[in-house]
Amino acid sequence: MSDEDRVEECRALASTVRSFRHYATSAGHDLNAWRYDISDERVGARHAALFRGELGQAAKLEKVEAAYRVNARFLDEVARYTPMMEGPSGQGAEGEDGSMDRDGHGDAKNEEHGDGCDEGCNGHSTTSQGILGFTGAELDSAISELDRLMGVAQVGPAEAERVRCVLRSFAREWSADGVQERAACFAPVIDRLCELFPAPERRRRPPRVVVPGCGLARMLAELVLHGFDAQGNEFSFAMLLGSSWVLNGSASRGVEQGMTIHPWCSSGSNHARSMDMFRGVRVPDLHIGKAVEAAWKAVEDWGEGDGGEPPLRPGSMSMAAGDFLDVYSEASGEEGQWDAVATVFFIDTAHDVVAYLERIFALLRPGGAWVNFGPLLYHYSENRVAGVAGHPSDDSLSVELSLEQVLRAAELAGFVRQGDVQMRPCPYTANPKGMARMLYTCAFFTMIKPA
């Protein structure tokens, strides 16, 4: 990574950390606007009295304010848990017990950064020790510069929305609210991988699976419990901070019973009941460290006299931070090293989806499988803004293929499709008690790299 790129990456990380830390301030702006909208000045004395009295809008906003305070405490907890992972130029990882290591394969603890906590939460550190390959001094300097430019505790609209997205993603991946969504999109992929790699095979050698765009890493954790050696890959600093807390920090900071968040309180629209706006959920609903420990105990306690098939040993877990094409480039040494690649709501994050398909093909061993689930909502399709002298910016590249074209591109890359393409409905970070939700029609298919 060049010095210029490093400065830019550090600035992006600093922006994310600031948005977590200053959530309360940005939320306060929302509350002030809502309260102004029910004031005498805004709607007149008669309606203002109605909102403050019989309709209970003012009382509802008091409860929303309390929900914001709870969210702020949670986000501060996440921001204060600082993972020791590297960026695109290197891989950080979590070992099979949840501990952080540096070799990208999850097979050793990084004792240098351990804090001696229980449940395999090695890797817990403070800001002064660094985050994602940046020193504490670099991060503090970048945060101070942003404070100077934007004003202390001021967060831009995009950053504020990113934090709200993280809260909704926590509900989706790590709370009881997300059970149906996870069953719709994660479970089919996991089931397909278990069909491709039956339990006896997983007992002999855990298959190695890459999960690009792993978000807050719930599917990664589930794969580990199903006996796969799984490596997540994530580009978003917000998701990296969140996943590191949920996989390691929730144990190391003494919150094994989880924390409450209020993911739906930032919008007043589409609530059937007022209380639904500030309804809380507990995260995480699964403590991965305890689950792995229980799985290992089951393996150790099993005897031939118990009958049936022996329990599966949990696999190892690792995380590679950075852009998918950068982390798993030709120079990474990862080509031909993976048994499977699992993509859920991922391939449409590409500027050029064919580049993704070719890289996935290269990563797989002969006979390896790519399992995909998701829509084609191309993330960069609205970025076609001309740059200086009419030259497009890097972020403006967006090649938007139909599903038919994606499937053909996969065949041209060398894949052979196994079975039919199934079209399945699935929401994304939807409020299960809300009056509106986006429902995607997702393509679910399996591609095989010929042996």
pLDDT digits (tens, 9 = 90+) for 158-173: 889 999 999 999 999 9
Q: What is the pLDDT of residue 372?
A: 99
Taking a C-beta distance cutoff of 8 angstroms, is the pair 337, 312 a contact? no
Cβ neighbour number for residue 214 with a 10 Å cutoff: 27
What three-state secondary structure class fits 347? helix
Is pLDDT of 208 > 90?
yes
* Chain centroid, CA 103 distance in Å: 21
pLDDT score, position 6: 86
- For the segment 424-444, the average pLDDT, to the nearest whole number, is 96
Dihedral sign (CA 329, 330, 332, 337)? positive
Q: What is the mean pLDDT of residues 51-78?
A: 96
Range of the domain at 366: 3-448
Dist. CA 88–CA 83, nearest whole Å: 15
pLDDT band at 230 (very low <50, low <70, confident <90, very high): very high
Q: Is 145 left (phi over 0), alpha (psi -120 to 50) or beta?
A: alpha
The model's confidence at residue 254, banded by pLDDT at 50, 70 and 90, is low
Average pLDDT over residues 293-316: 90
Looking at the predicted structure, is the pLDDT value of residue 197 above 60?
Answer: yes
Choose the weakest-confidence range: 246-250, 282-286, 382-386, 417-421: 382-386
Binning pLDDT at 50, 70 and 90, where does residue 100 land?
very low
26-52 pLDDT, tens per residue? 899 999 999 999 999 999 999 999 999
Q: How many separate domains does the chain show?
A: 1
Cβ atoms of 107 and 96 within 8 Å: the answer is yes
Beta strand 317-321 with 281-283 is: unpaired
The whole-number average pLDDT for the span 142-160 is 84
Predicted local distance difference test score (pLDDT) of residue 255: 64
Residue 83 confidence (pLDDT) above 80: no
Average pLDDT rounded to a whole number, residues 226-231: 98
Burial class (CB in 10 A: 0-12, 13-18, 19+), 234: buried
Work out the percent of the chain whose per-residue pLDDT is above 70. Answer: 84
Q: Any idea what the CATH number is for the domain that residue 391 is in?
A: 3.40.50.150
Chain mean position to CA 372: 17
Q: Which residues contact 254 (CB under 8 A, 6 or more apart)?
A: none
Residue-wise pLDDT tens digits, 18-28 = 999 999 988 99
| The pLDDT of residue 390 | 56
Percentage of the chain lying above the pLDDT 90 cut: 70
CB–CB of 319/124 below 8 Å? no
Taking 90 as the threshold, does the pLDDT of residue 147 lie above it?
A: no
Cis peptide before 284 (omega within 30 of 0): yes
Calpha distance 261→68 (Å, rounded): 9
Beta carbons within 10 angstroms of residue 294's beta carbon: 13
> Does residue 325 have a pLDDT over 50?
yes
Best CA proximity match to 16, nearest among 215, 272, 172, 242: 242
Instruction: For residue 61, give the nearest of 282, 281, 279, 274 by alpha carbon.
Output: 274
> Is residue 237 over pLDDT 50?
yes
Is the distance from CB of 95 to CB of 86 less than 8 angstroms?
A: no
pLDDT confidence bin for 446, thresholds 50/70/90: very high
Task: Using alpha carbons, select from 368, 227, 213 the residue that is nearest to residue 299.
Answer: 227
Q: What average pLDDT does the structure give for the chain?
A: 86
Is 224 within 8 Å of 316 (Cβ atoms)?
yes
Q: Name the band, by pLDDT with cuts 50, 70 and 90, for residue 308.
A: confident
Is the model's pLDDT at 115 over the cut of 50?
Answer: no
Q: Residue 94: in which H helix or E strand, if any?
A: strand 93-94
> In which band, very low, low, confident or very high, does the pLDDT at 248 lie, cut at 50, 70 and 90?
confident
Q: What is the mean pLDDT of residues 275-285?
A: 96
pLDDT above 80: residue 348: yes
**pLDDT at residue 2 in the model:** 81
Joined tokens for residue 382: 């609205």
Model pLDDT, residue 251:
60
pLDDT band at 330, cuts 50/70/90?
very high
pLDDT band at 252 (very low <50, low <70, confident <90, very high): low
β-strand 317-321 against 338-344: which pairing, if any?
unpaired
Consecutive H or E run containing 342: strand 338-344
Question: pLDDT at residue 224 above 50?
Answer: yes
- With contact defined as beta carbons under 8 Å apart, do 121 and 248 qualify? yes
CA dihedral 182, 242, 75, 281 (to 10 degrees): 20
What pLDDT, on the 0 to 100 scale, is given for residue 151?
A: 79
The 3-state DSSP composition of the chain as helix, strand, coil percent (nearest 5) reads 50, 15, 35
